[in-house]
Structure 1
């Protein structure tokens, strides 16, 4: 059985021997990030306390970068793993005009965001990636 998170679909914007941070390719959600534990682990409680702290610290740094660079109305942080039982966190910039707001991004869309607005947000992705990498290197 293959695991899409063991075989990263996207090039990480930051990676070390324990975890990876990727930008999810989602046209409707520029800046959608995933913090992935590199080893195939199912639950947070499977981690040693020091590893758990490392992972939550990474999620915190990604959230800070999203807030600073993308200026969202809200950040959603989720760890589901129902479809892919490999420990990972979704860190998602949310805006009042996004397709699903105020509902989770996995529900039925209630609107379409203007393409010009999405393009402006996509233009920030290189800055976001650099900011995440800088924060992660500093904390490593």
Structure 2
């Protein structure tokens, strides 16, 4: 079975929907709200096609993808006013090109260090609270 057949960004099954909510499609990517919200406004942006490395993209594809990444980071900055945004591109086991866009807040969790991928004490929200975050991000895209 190929990586693409095992990839929840490609199959869009419950493995994906259990941890993320689709916000919208952008030029080269799909934007998701990460359900675990220790870092308020945390999103994941995944390239639309199954690619495992940024260097597998053409110059044009890479530029469009990075434009999407910057656009999302700017929307999160405008919507949530974090002190810093961290970017994570860890894909040892999930070989689909994606970035975690993680707002960090001074005196908040992991300030001054690497954000936790899946914190032990998870911050999960109600459906209404997730929708409020999604609306806030969309308004600023």
What range is the shorter-chain TM-score in? 0.7 to 0.9
Count of residue pairs the alignment pairs up: 126
2:32 to 3, 15, 22: 22
Contact residue 19 and residue 38 of structure 1 kept, 8 A? yes
CA contact (8 A) 1:30 1:122 kept: no
What is the aligned partner in structure 1 of residue 68 from structure 2? 58
Residue 30 of structure 1 deviates from its aligned partner by: 2.1
Residues 1:3 and 2:11 aligned together? no
Q: Pick from 83, 93, 96: which aligns with 1:83? A: 93
Q: Is the 8 A contact 1:19 1:37 kept in 2?
A: yes
* Structure 1 residue 26: Cα displacement: 1.0
Contact 2:27–2:65, Cα closer than 8 Å, also in 1: no
Question: Shift of the alpha carbon at 1:107?
Answer: 7.2
Where structure 2 has 5 or more consecutive residues not aligned to the other structure, the ranges are none
Q: Where do 5+ consecutive residues of structure 1 fail to align?
A: 136-140
Partners of 1:57 and 1:17 in 2: CA distance: 9
Distance of aligned partners of 1:63 and 1:126 in 2 relative to their CA distance in 1, 3 Å threshold: same
Match of 1:96, SS state, is coil
Counterparts of 1:100 and 1:26, CA distance in 2: 15
In structure 1, C-alpha distance between the alignment counterparts of 2:132 and 2:111, rounded to whole Å: 21
Q: How does 1:41-120 map to 2 (within 5 A)?
A: 41-106=51-116
**1:22 to partner: Cα distance:** 0.7
Cα distance, 1:85–1:108 mapped onto 2, change above 3 Å: closer
Query: What is the alpha-carbon root mean square deviation over aligned residues?
Result: 2.9
